Amino acid sequence: MKFLPFVLLVAFAGQAQAQDLPLFDAHIHYSHDAVIQVPPEQAAKILREAGVTKALVSSSDDDGTQKLVAAAPEIVVPALRPYRRRGEIGSWMHDPTVIDYVEGRLARFEYKALGEFHAFGDDIETPVLQRMIALAKQHNLLLHAHSDADAVERIFKTWPDARVLWAHSGFDSPGKVRDMLRRHKQLWSDLAFRSDHASGKQVDEQWLAAFEEFPDRFMIGTDTFAPERWYYIKDHADYSRGWLASLPKPLAENIAYKNAEKMLGLLN
């Protein structure tokens, strides 16, 4: 019994550590309707209360991101989404006015990434996508791509030195994700809106193997695709801390925030 206090102390310390684990949420949107229904100060409060210390934010339209930058400059890492409304997800690649919009925003504001954008297969070959990739190159921006593996390959074929964050890990299998990460040294994977990598605190075996093979490439994300999902950020953070706690501390910290910080060049 004399060891009990020590055991309790260690257990408590471990729990506190898990609860305090900073999170870089690499998949946040703050779109036109969210701005109205979750005002910037409230959105910033949600992020802070969830212990989200950094967030890669892109919005349809970009005004949302700029408003959130103003409300939480210490948290928000701005990305430029090429949509003026979310409804452009399936049509933007055929709309040349998108480029005018993107160029206009790039001229006015600072960004770390272009995206999240939706493009599949040969969408990448369209003039709009090709121009956007050229703009990413010109401005040294990460590309946050909601794409299939084919489109990711085409991005790297277009620009071999691209840095790409693969949204949702392409909703692909852990085996395919590993294959893609092996092929491309500047490809990172976010785990947003997928639940197959961890059930409760239990990490899936195949995903664990992926995390262990590529400890510096994965990151978490909530994906606030509708305004209401801002109220899921805290639950998602809790879920993430839950399964990350089952990993070795260095790996957990990498996925929690360090990988995203390094990917975006935020570390001095």
Partner 1 sequence: MKRVFGLLCGVVVAFSAPQSGHAQNLILSQSEISAALSHGPWPLPKQDDPSNRMSGNAAAISLGKKLFSSKKLSADGTLNCASCHRPDAGFTDGVAQAMGHTRGDRNTQALYNLKYQRWFGWDGRNDNLWAQSLRPIVRVDEMALRTTDLSEVLTGEEFAAPYSALFGSPPQLSEQQNLVNVGKLLAAYIETLTTEKTPFDRFRDALAAGDEAAAAVYPEAAQRGFRIFAGKGKCNFCHTGALFSNGEFHDAGVPYFVAANRVDSGRHGGIKALMKNPYTLAGPYSDDPKKTGAWKTRQLIRSHNDFGTFRVPSLRNVGRTAPYMHNGSIATLEDVVHHYSNIDLERLHADGELILQPLHLTKRESADLVSFLLSLTEVDD
For binding to partner 1 (CB under 8 A), which residues are involved?
33, 37-38, 42, 85-87, 89, 118, 146, 168, 171, 193-195, 199-200, 222-223, 225-229, 231-232, 235-236
The answer to whether the bond into 116 is cis (omega within 30° of 0) is yes
For the CB of residue 136, give the shortest distance to partner 1 in the complex, in Å: 21
Q: How many CB atoms lie within 10 A of CB 217?
A: 27
How far from chain centre, in Å, is Cα 224?
11
CB of 226 to partner 1, least distance (A): 5
Taking Cα atoms as reference points, which of 142, 177, 147 lies closest to residue 26? Answer: 142
User: Residue 123 or residue 264: which is nearer to partner 1 going by CB?
Assistant: 123
Least separation, in Å, of the C-beta of 67 and partner 1? 17
Q: Which is nearer to partner 1, 22 or 242 (CB)?
A: 242
Rounded Cα distance between 141 and 163, Å, is 8
Please, what's the largest Cα pairwise distance for the chain? 73
Peptide bond into 61 cis (omega under 30): yes
Minimal distance in Å, beta carbon 262 to partner 1? Answer: 25
Query: E-strand spans in 59-169?
Result: 76-80, 113-118, 142-146, 164-166
- Select from 212, 177, 216 the least CA-distant residue to 194: 177
Smallest distance, Å, CB 187 to partner 1? Answer: 19
User: Which CB sits closer to partner 1, 159 or 232?
Assistant: 232
109/231 with CB nearer partner 1: 231
Nearer to partner 1, 12 or 171 (CB): 171
